[in-house]
Structure 1
Amino acid sequence: MAISLASLNRQQVLLPPRILVYGVAGVGKSTLAACSPKPVFILTEDGLGLLQVTSFPISRTFVEVLEALDSLLVEQHDFESVVMDSVDWLEPLIWAEVCRINRVNSIEDMGYGKATSPPWISGGSIWIFSRISGHTIA
């Protein structure tokens, strides 16, 4: 069969929103995220204050973050949004895991020079991923 313009399909694919919220401490990033559809928080710091939200225990390692994400992918639930609070505390967990896997003491030992955060991380930020119940986290 020859390919022609008559064989074109038109589809609209709605991807789940992925939002990065950046701001100084106390500006309301977590409060905004708590307003997302049926949120569940993956915490890397104790910064929720008095917010009443559903959250995993504070993740102290990157493996714990991955375990929380994995449970959202494989277990039944009615959450629609996952909030990573906060990205600036997630970054050192990733670095520590990379060091553990590569059996080095620091990122600098891997030959990449001084490890620095991008400027958008240093002020405090959270990621919000929506529609996780359909397994479309990323």
Structure 2
Amino acid sequence: MKIIRGKIKKPQKVVVYGPEGVGKSTFAAQFPEPLFIDTEGSTEHMDVPRFESPSSWTMMLEQIDYTIRNPHICKTLVIDTADWAEAMCIQGILDADGTKSLADYDYGRGYIKNEEEFGRFLNMLTRVTDKGVGVVVTAHSQIKAFIQPDEMGAYDRYELKLEKKTSALLKEWADMLLFANYKTEVFTDGKTKKTKAMGGKRVMYTEHRPNWDAKNRHGLKPELDFSYDAIKDAVAFDEHSTSTKAIIPEDQAPSKNTTVEVVSTIYPPLADLMKAGGITKEQLSAAIGPSASGGLGYFPSFMKIEELPEDFAKHIVSQWKEEFLPQAQQIEDLPFDLS
């Protein structure tokens, strides 16, 4: 059994949160060779490399898995933002179970499912860092009333805009939790006794205070300019990439002489997964068709993918990687039209 002494340098797991417009995406773009998974379209005005905007929870997990299998494509994977990612996580759970809200589950099981699924998402991000790629997760903040457990006082504080259980998971997972905000100072006019707020400089906080959560393991100053340069010496990355302009290779085509065409009338998240997986309409139709013809038996006859009930299309998306993609891949692209 080995005993290891000293510091172990490895890519960091950084979470930065703050109000809308403070510059979280711009801050994340300053990290070495970032690759964005943009869940809300906040990087459309920025010249940064990004995956296609994920339209489902399954699609986002596939993008993370692709990074794990191809760690050379970037030095930093950016999830922008955690709260929009959690919204997709919740929708994926609801679609899989055919429910409309986490509150519809008995005994709070919906929130437990969300916590477990979000935990698996964080485990995948840890696997990204194990491959030598840093991870940055951005999130919006919200102001909530806080009552101290000893009932000695109550005050407002900034918190992550997530469900309570997933917020705690994300904070525990992070090596560095940074709170970004506009620094303002309040002045009182000696004559009129009116108060005015002045300032507006963007700063980030690295240590816990009663009004916000923050942490770091590098002895950073409690308050820093909101810039990557202020923390770059504390953020270690594996120098595995030889190019400062990473080129993301396209996935290999499913088979030669095959053109994957996805009609726009297909449920959009399903269409995105079909395109990414190289699955044609005919393959998926056969996969969900009669078991006697090699399908899963969901329908007694071949069904046009464009005519699938939306609830079933959502079910396919939620179980894409586990059930429907492997089944469709086993079916050779048919030389005829099932319509």
Quick one: which of 70, 73, 77 aligns to 1:78?
A: 73
Structure 1 residue 77: deviation in Å?
2.6
Q: What per-residue deviation string (whole Å, max 9, x for no partner) do you get for residues 66-110 of structure 1?
A: 011011111363311100011111111000112223332221111
**What letter matches 1:10 in structure 2?**
I
Q: What per-residue deviation string (whole Å, max 9, x for no partner) do you get for residues 10-37 of structure 1?
A: 3332232111111112111001100111
Gaps of 5+ in 1: 1-6
Q: Distance in 2 between matches of 1:94 and 1:133?
A: 32
Which residue pairs with 1:45 in the alignment? 40
**What letter matches 1:120 in structure 2?**
L
Structure 1 residue 57: deviation in Å?
1.1
Residues 37 and 51 of structure 2 are in contact (CA less than 8 Å); yes or no, is this contact kept in structure 1? Answer: yes
Give the TM-score normalised by the residue count of structure 1.
Answer: 0.73
Residues 10 and 238 of structure 2 are in contact (CA less than 8 Å); yes or no, is this contact kept in structure 1? Answer: no
* 1:114–1:65 CA distance, 2 compared to 1 (3 A): closer
Residues 79 and 132 of structure 1 are in contact (CA less than 8 Å); yes or no, is this contact kept in structure 2? Answer: no
Structure 1 runs (4+) deviating above 3 angstroms are: 130-134
* 1:10–1:94 CA distance, 2 compared to 1 (3 A): same
Which residue pairs with 1:105 in the alignment? 100
**What letter matches 2:4 in structure 1?**
R
Quick one: which of 145, 161, 179 aligns to 1:121?
A: 161
Larger radius of gyration: 2
Quick one: which of 24, 27, 34 aligns to 2:22?
A: 27
**What letter matches 2:93 in structure 1?**
V
Structure possessing the higher relative contact order (Cα contacts under 8 Å, 6 or more residues apart):
1
Residues 81 and 132 of structure 1 are in contact (CA less than 8 Å); yes or no, is this contact kept in structure 2? Answer: no
Residues 82 and 132 of structure 1 are in contact (CA less than 8 Å); yes or no, is this contact kept in structure 2? Answer: no
Q: Distance in 2 between matches of 1:85 and 1:132?
A: 22
Q: Distance in 2 between matches of 1:71 and 1:106?
A: 30
Which residue pairs with 2:231 in the alignment? none
* 1:32–1:109 CA distance, 2 compared to 1 (3 A): same
Gaps of 5+ in 2: 112-141, 143-158, 163-173, 177-235, 241-339
* 1:102–1:132 CA distance, 2 compared to 1 (3 A): farther
Q: Distance in 1 between matches of 2:16 and 2:40?
A: 16
Q: Distance in 2 between matches of 1:103 and 1:90?
A: 20
Q: Distance in 1 between matches of 2:239 and 2:95?
A: 32
Residues 38 and 79 of structure 1 are in contact (CA less than 8 Å); yes or no, is this contact kept in structure 2? Answer: yes
SS across alignment from 2:64: helix
Quick one: which of 6, 14, 17 aligns to 2:9?
A: 14
Q: Distance in 2 between matches of 1:132 and 1:54?
A: 19
Q: Distance in 2 between matches of 1:109 and 1:17?
A: 37
